[in-house]
Structure 1
Amino acid sequence: MVFIMQAEARRPQACNMLVLLLDAQQFAVLLLMNRIVEGRSRTRHLGQEDTNCRMRRLIVLFKAVGAKLLPSEQLANLITPSPSTYIYPHTHIVQDKLRQNRSLIPTKQVEMVRAIGPLLLLVFVVSIAAAAAPVRRPRCDAGDRAALLAVKAAFNNASYFQSWTPDIACCHWYGVDCGGDDYDYDPTDGDRVLSLAIIRDDNVTGGIPGDAIARLTRLQELMFFKVPGVTGPIPAALATLTALRELTISRTALSGSIPSFIGDKFTALQSLDLSFNSLTGAIPASLAKPPKLISIDLSRNQLTGSIPRLLLSKAGQQAFLTLSHNNLSGRIPAAFGAVNFVQIDLSRNQLTGDASMLFGSGKKELGSVYLSRNALSFDMSELRLPERLSFLDVSHNAIRGGIPAQVANLSNLQLLNVSYNRMCGEVPTGGNMARFDAYCFQHNKCLCGAPLAACH
């Protein structure tokens, strides 16, 4: 049977270590392979690693002095897994290879390692533990720990926080992330809480404890997701979290307005998600200020007023905006013509006027446009649709003109809905148009041609 001790690393200089505890014979075979594996790479990774070194795997083999080694071409078939898999979920493959190739291992060597295998295994494990113990200390900043315990108390010690106990370092608590390793290799760093996530729990109830969370002064990510018992407004105390990069408070019972300090104070903010709540009032113009903000989702609230003129104007090469299912009114800002949207969803509001500025051949990244159920009015026949467009829904508006013939040549287009408008002319044919049925074009003024009735 195989047992695995695993330490996850997130710093590039601190890779993970796997200690494989095998039965005596399998362990001995790995010992025999050591020189071959070491010859290929002293730190052979049995699997792919991501760019953040979050899942690097380092296999450690203990050397057996005097053991006879097999040729590398024979040994390779015993332990080398495919590049896309790790060895530890596939130990049965190793075992099968051992059984199939046991004849490759000299009988005398097998008998020798059967005798000394358990002793070598014990020495190996003890040496690893002894070497690691002095330098591996659980990480936890005392001030952050006190702040987290205040958060726990504010939510009446709900079961979500059952791992938040004195015998566990706070960086190991469920929903808490301090970045880097789970253990401190550098006693000079701050061991600070960078991320707090409270998610998917109906038993977490009450208002957001702003004063307690504000004491996590290095916090970069704050998430409340699918916690319907969280109520009240966004607390003003959060304004001090100036290092915040991602703020998600979604699918809660949050109420009140969106505070302007989110745009004024959170200068490092990259992503804002306040969707599926009960927020009211206008979208603050200050949300246009954060220079790194590229993604905003305020959908499924009760927001009113107009869309701020410069929203996401600083987003750079990619921008994501979702404001659907609100009560927003007025016109789509003309400045949106200069924003490099990848996705924009303004559906189910009360917006009026032109939306043609959202399109054009220069919109290289634009993939999704949802404008349905507004009161928009413009000539669609004059639009130039981006080549990467995959989803286009402009149904239930007052759009006139015809469907651009170019739409048939958009190979990525998966959704097209222009129904319930005032459009005329023949539906384009050929290309990808066979994907779309009559529902996509119905209830227009005078559209015709397959899949609608023939033109006369």
Structure 2
Amino acid sequence: MAILWLTPLTALLLLAVTSTVNSCQPSELAALQAFRSSLREPHDGVFNSWTGTNCCHNWFGVSCDENTGRVADINLRAGSIYTTFEKAHTPGYMTGHISPEICKLTQLSSISITDWNGISGEIPSCITSLAFLRIIDLTGNQISGTLPSDIGKLRHLSRLSVADNVITGYIPRSLSNVTGLTHLDLRNNRISGSIPMNFGNLQNLGRALLSGNKLSGPIPGSISRIYRLSDLDLSRNQLNGPIPESLGRMSVLGTLKLDTNKLSGYISKSFLVSGISDLDFSHNMLEGNIPDAFGAKSYFTSLDFSYNNLKGPIPKSISNASYIGYMDLSHNHLCGPIPSGQVFDHLDASSFEYNDCLCGKPLKACKIH
């Protein structure tokens, strides 16, 4: 067996390469230090571990690529951090802002800075230069400003979560270029304007959560082309116009929440025999009859049509539904006897109150003429 002898120079070079891979590049160390200096913790916590010059070793929330030694992930989630540190007191807010110096970490794959409540400022616009970014999660802060208009540059982005902030402006049209996006969460901000008409280009989207904003205009019919979409929540906005019938023909859509908007028109029968199990159209301006189209495929954990302008009878076919866990038809103009059947046995009067002339169990008995 041959023995490999290393000259002192070769050994020194190997040691230099090894130490480079297992340490922090000076430029990235400086970027992390600048990032840290823009944030403040009122109590001892995560940044106590950010000591020394090797940010790839025991810096809480910082992960590096094993092969290159470049910073790959920043993961500062308040809940998990304070569970780790097992604080005996209630943690204070982390305040400050996200420094643009973070954009000097050019190999970043994920940025997760969530649930600190006090972090403010804007999303650094340079974040769209981070070509390898897959995850942006800034949920639960006080971040303001707008979403970067050129966010479409992030072709590898799979998750964008900025819920529970104070972000304004519009949904960037370029977002539709991020065709690998699987999770979009913009809930509870102050985003206005319309949903881009080419929103359906996001073919890999599984969840689209846009509730609690100031979105207006129609619901784009192109959404029905997103064949992997299982959860669509557009509730608590100012959307208007009809509900696209094509949404009821989506193959995997299981949750559709459109409540508390200004939607008008009629309820399509496609929604009653679809695979949607959580359907909420309440607090809109829908009119006409509830379609007499229920059948064995009608399976609802929750069905809510309350606070609309629906009229006519409750369709008899509703008794053919395989399951309805919760239903609310209150505050409409429905009239006539409530159909009998096991599907209604567990519902109380609140599901039917404040209509024009509904009668029968669980309301008052119908008058016999």
Q: Cα distance 1:223–1:407, how it changes in 2: closer, same or farther (>3 A)?
A: farther
Distance 2:41 2:306 in 1: 52
CA deviations over 1:175-198 (Å, ceiling 9, x no partner): 12225xxxx5xxxx2122211122
| 2:134–2:156 CA contact under 8 A, matched in 1 | yes
Contact 2:72 2:108 in 1 (8 A): yes
1:151 alignment counterpart:
35
How does 1:57-76 map onto structure 2 within 5 Å?
A: none
* Residue 256 (structure 2) pairs with residue 369 (structure 1): yes
Which residue of structure 2 aligns with residue 229 of structure 1?
118
Structure 2 residue 157 is matched with structure 1 residue 269: yes
Partners of 1:177 and 1:285 in 2: how far apart?
Answer: 32
What is the CA distance between 1:253 and its match in structure 2? 0.8
SS at match of 2:171: coil
**Does the 8 Å CA contact 1:171/1:193 hold for their aligned counterparts?**
no
Q: Secondary structure at the match of 1:401?
A: strand
How far apart, CA to CA, are the structure 2 residues paired with 1:348 and 1:281?
Answer: 17
Of 84, 100, 104 in structure 2, the residue corresponding to residue 210 of structure 1 is 100
Q: Distance in 1 between matches of 2:96 and 2:335?
A: 54
Q: Which residue of 2 aligns with 1:324?
A: 211
1:415 paired residue among 290, 294, 302: 302
Deviations 1:40-59, CA, capped at 9 Å, x for gaps: xxxxxxxxxxxxxxxxxxxx
Distance 1:267 1:219 in 2: 14
Aligned 8 A contact 1:231 1:255 in 2: yes
Contact 1:246 1:269 (C-alpha < 8 Å) held by counterparts:
yes
Task: Please state if 1:295 is matched with 2:179.
Answer: no
% identity of equivalent residues = 31
Cα offset, 1:266, TM superposition:
1.1
Give the Å deviation of 1:156: 4.6
- The aligned residue for residue 278 of structure 2 is 391
How much has 1:413 moved relative to structure 2? 2.2
Supply the distance in 2 between the matched residues of 1:251 and 1:371 (Cα, whole angstroms): 23
Give the Å deviation of 1:429.
1.6
Give the letter aligned to residue 304 of structure 2. Answer: N
Q: Which has the higher Rg, Structure 1 or Structure 2?
A: 1
Say whether the 8 Å CA contact 2:273–2:293 is kept in structure 1: no
Q: Paired residue for 2:235, among 329, 347, 350?
A: 347
Contact 1:380 1:403 in 2 (8 A): yes
Instruction: Give, as a single letter, the amino acid of the residue that structure 1 aligns with 2:359.
Output: A
Instruction: Give the stretch that moved more between structures: 327-336 or 385-394.
Output: 385-394
- Deviations 1:385-428, CA, capped at 9 Å, x for gaps: 46432211110112223434555534752111111112232251
SS at match of 1:253: coil
Q: CA deviation at 1:314?
A: 3.1
Matches for 1:10-409 after TM superposition, within 5 Å: 139-142=22-25, 143-156=27-40, 159-166=45-52, 170-178=56-64, 189-200=67-78, 202-211=92-101, 213-263=102-152, 265-316=153-204, 318-340=205-227, 341-361=229-249, 363-385=250-272, 387-407=274-294, 409=296
CA distance in 1, matches of 2:182, 2:291: 30
The alpha-carbon deviation at position 339 of structure 1 amounts to 2.2
Rounded Cα–Cα distance in structure 1 between residues aligned with 2:297 and 2:280: 15
- Cα displacement string for residues 313-361 of structure 1 (whole angstroms, at most 9, x for unaligned residues): 1324x43211111111111112223222211111011111111345233
One-letter amino acid of the structure 1 residue matched with residue 77 of structure 2: I
* 2:300–2:323 Cα contact (<8 Å) kept: no
| Conserved? CA contact 1:160–1:204, under 8 Å | no
Q: TM-score, normalised by structure 2?
A: 0.75
Give me the whole-angstrom Cα distance separating, in 2, the residues matched to 1:421 and 1:219: 48
Provide the secondary structure at the position in 1 that maps to 2:120: strand
| Distance in 1 between residues matched to 2:325 and 2:295, nearest whole Å | 10
**Structure 1 residue 203: Cα displacement:** 4.1
Aligned-pair CA distance for 1:224: 1.5
Q: 1:314 and 1:169, CA in 2 relative to 1: closer, same or farther beyond 3 A?
A: closer
Q: Measure the CA separation in 2 of the matches of 1:308 and 1:434.
A: 34
RMSD over aligned CA atoms reads: 2.6
- CA gap 1:358/1:148 in 2 versus in 1, 3 angstroms: farther
Q: Which residue of the partner structure matches residue 133 of structure 1? A: none
Extract unaligned runs of 5+ from structure 2: 1-17, 79-90, 345-351, 353-357, 361-365
Q: For residues 381 and 402 of structure 1, what CA distance do their matches in structure 2 show?
A: 10
SS in 2 for 1:376: strand
In structure 1, C-alpha distance between the alignment counterparts of 2:200 and 2:134, rounded to whole Å: 15
1:223 is paired with a residue whose SS is strand
SS at match of 2:117: coil
Q: Structure 1 407/430 Cα, relative in aligned 2: closer, same or farther at 3 Å? A: closer
TM-score (norm 1): 0.62
1:404 and 1:163 mapped to 2: Cα distance? 62
Looking at secondary structure, tell me which structure has more helix per residue. 1
CA-CA distance at 1:228 after TM superposition = 1.5
